[in-house]
Structure 1
């Protein structure tokens, strides 16, 4: 999704992370996929890919579900140095599961010309 330059500060990017985590924990996968997309969907439909990848993370962690969205463990915003790849920022959200393990949710901000885009990049198990 396209975002404004005024939405690239730490607080705004962390808020996007909180919003995404809330949607993920609530099971609003179709809405999440529509709003944020999913970079690792590859040839799969984004909502299906998110569900499959989350299920794989939970299985690896031997968890049944994510813990309630509020509050999630932590969120970190990092900025990339200027580069030719278009990478601008990374938002990492560590989301607890029902058994105390964590799923790492990563969002990436890319820049193309004067435009900025935010996308769900990956879901992974924290082991």
Structure 2
């Protein structure tokens, strides 16, 4: 998703993180994929890849209740050759009890800065 110049501050990026987490909790994989894409989709449809990767995380958690406190943060990268600008990290407790780390990445490119869903993993 292309960002405007006023959407790269911490508050704006945290809102994107909150939005992504809410869509994940609601299991609205299509809306999540449409809004943010999914870097780890590879040769799969993004929405299906998100669904499968979340299911894998939940299975790995073995339905145990996590004691990880949900949190969000934004980290900015120093100027680099990989065009990475920032990462938004969000830990959310899923209804099943497992805690999941949702990572959004902001990259700089010729057409501006873009935010995308980078990864979903067990926290």
> Normalization by structure 1: what TM-score?
0.88
SS at 1:84 equivalent:
coil
Distance 1:114 1:101 in 2: 38
- 1:121 and 2:118 correspond: yes
Paired residues in the alignment total 119
- 1:61 and 2:61 correspond: yes
Structure 1 gaps, min length 5? 65-71
- What is the CA deviation profile of residues 44-70 of structure 1, one whole-angstrom value per residue up to 9, with x for unaligned ones? 000000000000000001139xxxxxx
Distance 1:60 1:88 in 2: 31
Cα deviation for residue 99 of structure 1 reads 5.3
SS at 2:114 equivalent:
strand
SS at 2:89 equivalent:
strand
What residue number does 1:103 align with? 100
Q: Contact conserved, 1:81 with 1:88, CA < 8 A, in 2?
A: yes
- What is the CA deviation profile of residues 20-48 of structure 1, one whole-angstrom value per residue up to 9, with x for unaligned ones? 10111011110110110000000000000
Q: Structure 1 segments of 4 or more deviating over 2 A? A: 97-101
What residue number does 1:67 align with? none
What residue number does 1:34 align with? 34
RMSD, aligned α-carbons: 1.6
Structure 2 gaps, min length 5? none
SS at 2:20 equivalent:
helix
> Normalization by structure 2: what TM-score?
0.91
Cα deviation for residue 113 of structure 1 reads 3.1
Cα deviation for residue 98 of structure 1 reads 3.6
